[in-house]
Amino acid sequence: MKFPSPLQEAILLKRYKRFLADIVLANQEKHTIYCPNAGNLIGCNVLGSRVWFSRCSNPNKTYHDTWELVEIEGGKLVCVNHQRAKQIILDGIATNVIAPLSGYQHVLSDVKFNNQKFDFLLSEYPHFNDKEKLSEAPKHDNCFVVVQSVTMGDEIHRGFYPDTDDKRITKQLSALIAAKELGYRAVWVYCVMNTGINKIFPADHINPDFGCLLRQAVIRGVEVMAYRVHITLEEMVVTEPVEVCIPARMLYTPRSEKSD
């Protein structure tokens, strides 16, 4: 996925009201941009960080500029725009980089099924968007996919999801479990948009309910996978799988708090 136009660099002052951020441009002008991320952005909203934003010419938008990237400790890049995750994963499916999801004949985005919207439905059938046709087709030939972006990492290269206690995340995973129990293939995909992350863990210290449900989902047959994203100022590309670790219980201790 290439950025539609060159990104502009700035310095982060603060993120506030969840969807806004104040920055300082190269000419020392203070500027407010849109932050397309409902999470807490733990480790990504540090005062003085280098950030990059995109510009939109749409006159109907309240904020024409959108926060895309931030440089974190160690010089790693993180994409904070969670809206990019779906396109990145879709590109990975289309190019066969995400091999477990490749090979389906048809792909439909933003599919509503049983009052829950899924990011993708992969299918062998051309009429899978027709509810009657979908019900007639073998269920295992249809795959519901949910994509979630991962930005939160620690100093020993572990990634954690989610970084918020938002109940909507748990609701979405519950719907995926329900689809699996009806006989469909169900896949939860982490789009790892922090170049410093080597493994993914459930963030039990932030959202224990989600962590508990994720373990139930795996037992019930929901597939959980993660893929690394190579990030530059020009594009973001899926590269390789990242290990997803789901221990029986996750004890989170920042390195700085461990005893010698």
Q: What is the pLDDT of residue 256?
A: 45
Helix pair 208-219, 167-181: axis angle to 10 deg: 10
Contact criterion met (CB below 8 Å) for 50 and 9:
yes
Distances (CA, A) of 47 to 11, 72, 153, 217: 8, 11, 18, 38
The confidence score (pLDDT) of residue 260 equals: 43
The rounded distance, in Å, linking the Cα atoms of 84 and 25 is 24
Enumerate residue ranges in the chain where pLDDT < 50: 251, 256-260
Give the DSSP H or E segment for 121: strand 116-123
Q: Considering the chain, what is the average pLDDT of its residues?
A: 90
Q: What is the pLDDT of residues 118-143, one digit of tens each?
A: 999 999 876 555 555 555 655 768 99
Token readout for 220 is: 């019930």
- Helix H or strand E segment including 153: strand 152-153
CATH no., domain 8-79: 2.40.50.580
Amino acid (one-letter) located at 37? N
Give pLDDT, residue 135. Answer: 58
Spatial distance between the Cα atoms of 183 and 56, rounded to a whole number of angstroms: 43
User: How many CB atoms neighbour CB 45 within 10 A?
Assistant: 20
Alpha carbon of residue 255 to chain centroid: 25
Select from 158, 232, 153, 150 the least CA-distant residue to 191: 150
Report the pLDDT value the prediction gives residue 258, as an integer from 0 to 100. 47
What are the tens digits of pLDDT across the range 150-159? 999 999 999 9
Distance CA 85, CA 70 (A): 16
- The pLDDT score that the predictor gives to residue 252 is 52
Domains 8-79 and 82-248 share a fold: no
DSSP letter for 130, please.
S
Contact 84, 66 (CB under 8 A): no
3-class SS at 93? helix
Q: Strand, coil or helix: what is 27?
A: coil
Q: Identify the CATH number of the domain defined by range 82-248.
A: 3.40.1350.60
Residue 1 per-residue DSSP state: -
Structural domain spans, the chain: 8-79, 82-248
Q: Which two tokens stand for residue 27?
A: 């000419």
